Amino acid sequence: MSAPATKPNDTLLWVSLIVFGVVGLSVGKFFRPGPIAEAYVSVTTEVRTLVEEVPAANEAAAKPADGAAAEPVTGSTPPKRIWVDTDDPAIERQLKEGTLKRVPDVAQAVWDVRTPIDNAATAREQMASLENEAEKLSAPTDSTGLTKEEFDQREAARTAALKVVEEKRIVSSPRDSIGIWVGALLTLGILSFLVRDNPFYKVVESILIGVSAAYWMLVAFWSTLVPDLLAKLAPDLVRATMLPGLAQSEDPTQDFLLALIPLGLAIMLLWRLMPKGGWIAVWPLAVVIGTFAGMRLTATIEADFMAQIAAAMEPMAAFTTVPPDEAAIAAAQAAGTAPSPGREFNFGGTLAAILGLIGVVTVLIYFFFSLEHKGVVGKTARVGVWFLMITFGAAFGLTVMGRMTLLIGRFEFLFGDWLNVVK
């Protein structure tokens, strides 16, 4: 009777990992330049004011010329209202000229735009530099010998510069710090699968499935369903709630009627979720398959088949352009023309071109299964297999390196962004 297989002690493993983590963090604390998961954002405040265009044409029509009776303006559209940045010099000028005017009783829209700064050390340096600059600009300066005009000009410039500096705010961002913690824990959750399948990994995996399903659904909703379907079915509603910049259609009725077809097909596709009548979903699937087949047929013939054959049509003998030799220069001088550059046979390039052609032809022969791979065909196909093996080997190497790059990126995130141990 064989001895029972020893089961690794899970508790010991997890305790070891936690102890290792805690000790590692504590030791790392002594070498760390800043706190864990340090995140900063630069904050810009945006202010927008609602203005309306002054209908100059209507005003002119309302003023009677030569004492004639004023004609009522009929069918006039309400003035166009837009949100503008009143600090913009062009808008400021239009407000002064009176072509634009502020809409009364509508509050300004004010919000902050927070842009994350990648490196915490850079953010700290920027903060210190801004503080120094602000301090310098606010410090009292010597004004002896200045006229009042010069003094006023200098103070105005200083106030403007101070305003610019004060508007550049770099602040610590707890929201992003929490995000880094969340990202780090989730990363560790996935990596824990390397030890073995465990509940931590399963929780993280479930989160990934749920979030990515919702993400792709949202991408489809905002980038396709809203502008291509809802905007045609209910343009006014979409304009008022989601896409205020939606252009006015030339023929909304035709758009509406045409949009009913994909709407019907979409409902038929969703019918697949119903317990009965799943065949109804075959109709929209036929549209999808037919369209995709039509698109791929033309695209692959043009972009892959023709383009690859054209690219394979290279001259077998390669030459390199070299500077003109002395004889050519002398001949050109005698003829009074510019010397033309010479050509030199390129052995490496020629060999590469010949090998390239052999590779394409032999691999294609290997894929040609209508002929039995015997005799000359078999031997040629064998060479094709060698080319394929080299191709797959290179693809394998590149794939491994790509994944390694991703892994390095994750470790940089863990030890840099999160633990702040490496720069």
Q: Could you say which residues in the range 221-250 bind other proteins, by CB under 8 A?
A: 221-225, 228-229, 240-245
Q: Does 311 bind other proteins (CB under 8 A)?
A: yes
Q: Does 20 bind other proteins (CB under 8 A)?
A: no
Q: Does 363 bind other proteins (CB under 8 A)?
A: yes
Q: Could you say which residues in the range 22-51 bind other proteins, by CB under 8 A?
A: 46, 48, 50
Q: Does 113 bind other proteins (CB under 8 A)?
A: yes
Query: Are 110 and 154 within 8 A, CB to CB?
Result: no
Shortest distance, position 242 Cβ to other proteins, whole Å: 5
293 vs 335, which CB is nearer to other proteins? Answer: 293
The backbone torsions φ and ψ at residue 163, rounded to the nearest 5 degrees and listed phi first, read -65, -40
Calpha distance 246→248 (Å, rounded): 7
Three-state DSSP class for residue 101: strand
133 vs 205, which CB is nearer to other proteins? Answer: 205
Q: Does 287 bind other proteins (CB under 8 A)?
A: yes
Q: Does 122 bind other proteins (CB under 8 A)?
A: no
Q: How many residues bind other proteins (CB under 8 A)?
A: 133
Q: Does 301 bind other proteins (CB under 8 A)?
A: yes
Q: Does 266 bind other proteins (CB under 8 A)?
A: yes
Q: Could you say which residues in the range 49-88 bind other proteins, by CB under 8 A?
A: 50, 82-83, 85
Q: Does 114 bind other proteins (CB under 8 A)?
A: yes
61 vs 263, which CB is nearer to other proteins? Answer: 263
Q: Does 317 bind other proteins (CB under 8 A)?
A: no
Member of 380, 387, 419, 420 binding other proteins (CB under 8 A): 387
Member of 294, 340, 343, 422 binding other proteins (CB under 8 A): 294
221 vs 345, which CB is nearer to other proteins? Answer: 221
Query: Are 262 and 278 within 8 A, CB to CB?
Result: no
Calpha distance 178→184 (Å, rounded): 10
Q: Could you say which residues in the range 175-204 bind other proteins, by CB under 8 A?
A: 175-176, 179-180, 182-184, 186-187, 190-191, 193-194, 202-204
Count the alpha carbons within 13 Å of 360 in the hemisphere toward its beta carbon. Answer: 13
